[in-house]
Amino acid sequence: MKIINAKNYEELSKQAADIILTQIKINPFSVLGLATGSTPLGTYKELIKSYNEKLVYFKNIKTVNLDEYVGLSPDNPQSYRYFMNHNLFDFLDIKKENTFVPNGCTKNIESEAENYDNIIKNLGGIDLQLLGIGLDGHIGFNEPSNCFFKNTHTVNLTPSTIKANSRFFKNEEEVPKQAVTMGIGAIMQAKKVLLLANGKQKEDILNKALFGNITPKVPASILQLHNNVTVIFCE
């Protein structure tokens, strides 16, 4: 595991974008696993900048996102599909049909979950998976639990996650209580993992995840068993 202590958020974003750009240079047909949240926003801005400077093209890139809220349609500004379109995809030459985000607004969420695993499988798995980390140690929306969930599944969000994410909503009540998330299996099968953690408030959980016991109570701790993880942290 490689751990980089970045000077500040700008450096973290630049270094993360560099790793993604290198991946695209090595393989312009890469499958990128992408994340939402505040942390990757700077990285996405850097990617857009590089695209505008004609340093990179995304026309053959495919993406799979980690998760989506249950009950939010893709045109809901709080949905993760909306987030990805408005913070990244709309500014690149990526083909929208090559970008995948779980559908949280379907009657049959179980078959949607199965379908999502098939999509990842049919793409040949993930070359580089970008991750944030929740204050409770979640990756994607794999919340602390008694076991690691291998496949894409529906999850009840923890009070900590609901509270943390309420900053994007009018109030806590409005935060969906469930999400559909890629499982630990697809994340662990990604060839490379890039975990970003921004801010002093993430330091404690990051230490637990990287140096503590490997336990589903701290889902990110499973990454200790992955053989190609880069972590970028800044206070």
Residues forming the site for ligand PGA (CB under 6 A): 37-39, 132-134, 138
Give the residue with the Cβ less far from ligand PGA, 103 or 198.
Answer: 198
Place of tokens 């972590």: 231
153 is a catalytic site residue: no
In contact, 186 and 125? CB cutoff 8 Å: yes
C-alpha span between 23 and 129 (Å, rounded):
11
Listed in order, strand segments (DSSP E) in 53-186 are 62-65, 67-69, 99-100, 128-131, 153-156, 178-181
Nearest to 30 by CA among 66, 65, 63: 63
Give the residue with the Cβ less far from ligand PGA, 56 or 63.
Answer: 63
86 is a catalytic site residue: no
Catalytic-role residue among 46, 127, 136, 153: 136
AA identity, residue 146: N
138 is a catalytic site residue: yes
Q: Are strands 62-65 and 99-100 parallel, antiparallel or unpaired?
A: parallel
| CB-based contacts of 93, cutoff 8 Å, min separation 6 | 51, 57, 58, 59
What residue number has its CB nearest to ligand PGA? 37
172 is a catalytic site residue: no
Q: At 192, phi and psi to the nearest 5?
A: -135, 150
Backbone torsion region of residue 199, taken as left when φ is above 0, otherwise alpha when ψ lies between -120 and 50, otherwise beta: left
Give the residue with the Cβ less far from ligand PGA, 73 or 201.
Answer: 201
Sheet holding 31-34, edge to edge: 2-5, 229-234, 192-198, 128-131, 31-34, 62-65, 99-100
Give the residue with the Cβ less far from ligand PGA, 134 or 183.
Answer: 134
Give the residue with the Cβ less far from ligand PGA, 35 or 120.
Answer: 35
Catalytic-role residue among 46, 127, 138, 153: 138
Catalytic-role residue among 46, 68, 112, 143: 143
Task: Report in angstroms how near the CB of residue 36 gets to ligand PGA at its nearest.
Answer: 8
* Residues assigned a catalytic role: 67, 136, 138, 143
